[in-house]
Amino acid sequence: MHPRTWASIVLPIFLFLTSQISFAPVVEAKRSRHVPRVSEFTGEVSRIHDGDTFTAIVGGIPLKIRLNGIDAPELSQPFGLEAKYGLGDLIHERIVRIVALGKDKNRRTIADVYLHDGRRVNDELVKAGMAWWSRKHSRDKKLEALEAEARRSHRGLWAQNHAIPPWRYRYPDKTLQSASR
């Protein structure tokens, strides 16, 4: 077989097979009773988006990560910038261990994230009063206890008299409609 013919056969097959490889080692979570498979890897944090979302470079590819089980104030909300800077102080330009649990509706990787000393970033933010425990998306009793302690101690966003959770802040009309029923 002529070398040029060989390349014209092998190259398209090679390109097809490599296009089927997922570079992000994450399995998308299905909405079912089954526990999603977990994927674990490390990455260097390159950008902080807000108090619960960042981008890490994993294997040379940027991967947008949303911290599991917590919800930080929106940037336009009181304490929103403080939460973003708090997350940045913990992880920006650092290597972190990412335990991916799936993807959210915005295709961000949902993950528990760990510092080099073993502390879970998700816990640290709730403990510091930088985020709420997301009751709707997590049954993590540790996050529940950390939030209760932060509230009692008036840490971070709990120093405010009436902190508005981000899920209410994002959809104020929906909250008013449900409150009037």
Residues annotated as part of the active site:
66, 74, 108
Q: Are 67 and 52 in contact (CB under 8 A)?
A: yes
Structure tokens at 99: 């335990």
Pick from 86, 85, 39: nearest CA to 63: 39
3-class secondary structure, 58: strand
Best CA proximity match to 50, nearest among 30, 31, 70:
70
Give how far Cα 70 sits from Cα of 8, 13, 77, 110, 172, Å: 51, 44, 16, 10, 20
Q: Which residue in 164, 130, 126, 160 sits closest to 146, CA to CA? A: 126
Contacts of 4 (CB under 8 A, 6+ apart): none
32 is written with which tokens? 């079912």
